[in-house]
Amino acid sequence: MKKLFLAVLLALGLAFAQSPYAGGHLGLFGGGGVNLFNIGLHAGMPLGPGMPEVRAGLDFTSAAGVLITGFSGDVLLPLAVPDLPATPYLGAGANFWLFAGNTDFGVHGTLGIRASLPGTPVVGFVEFQPTYAFGGGGAFLYYLKVGANFGF
């Protein structure tokens, strides 16, 4: 047990030694012909040089007066593309939604691109997340996000 605790402590120490960021997005959330406005906040960090990054998020969507609160976790893999001023990335993650006394969960993929604003710690991004929600018989959904991250 002590070895497991030390391994977790070491992993967390290395993770927090990286470049964490926090950010937000505006976008659309929907499926089946329904498109809803979505807003969210997130925080993340790379696991190390050349390694994937992890991100946790919180978002809000209003549907017919019902507030949907969403929680998400992602693993993102930046892709190295020579001579491209922006960085594309792929990822996968999970979602958990709370709404009107109900809960739902799902999985998603992520396809995005981000670019730094020169001379600032700000990075703008656009991403698309096709999503599958398991509750209520299942449904295909999507997120389309435009946002910014602030690096620490």
pTM: 0.83
CATH number at residue 9: 2.40.160.20
Higher pLDDT, 19 or 57: 57
Nearest alpha carbon to residue 116 among 83, 66, 73, 150: 150
Nearest alpha carbon to residue 25 among 55, 66, 67: 55
Burial classification of residue 80, based on how many CB atoms lie within 10 Å of its CB (0-12 exposed, 13-18 middle, 19 or more buried): exposed
Parallel, antiparallel, or unpaired: how do β-strands 122-133 and 34-46 relate?
unpaired
Residue 5 has pLDDT above 80, yes or no: no
Give me the amino acid identity at 33.
G
Q: What is the mean pLDDT of the chain?
A: 89
Confidence of residue 1 (pLDDT cuts 50, 70, 90): low
* Total of domains in the chain: 1
pLDDT of 44-88, one tens digit each? Answer: 999 988 899 999 999 999 888 889 999 999 999 999 899 899 999
Is residue 127 within 8 Å of residue 98, measured between CB atoms?
A: no
Task: Render 130-144 in DSSP notation, one character per residue.
Answer: EEEE-GGG-EEEEEE
| 3-state percent breakdown (helix, strand, coil) of the chain, nearest 5 | 10, 65, 20
Residue 42 has pLDDT above 80, yes or no: yes
Residue 19 has pLDDT above 60, yes or no: yes
Share of the chain above pLDDT 90, in %: 69
The parent domain of residue 76 ranges over 2-151
- Determine the pLDDT at residue 32: 82
Mean pLDDT along residues 106-114:
98
- Determine the pLDDT at residue 49: 84
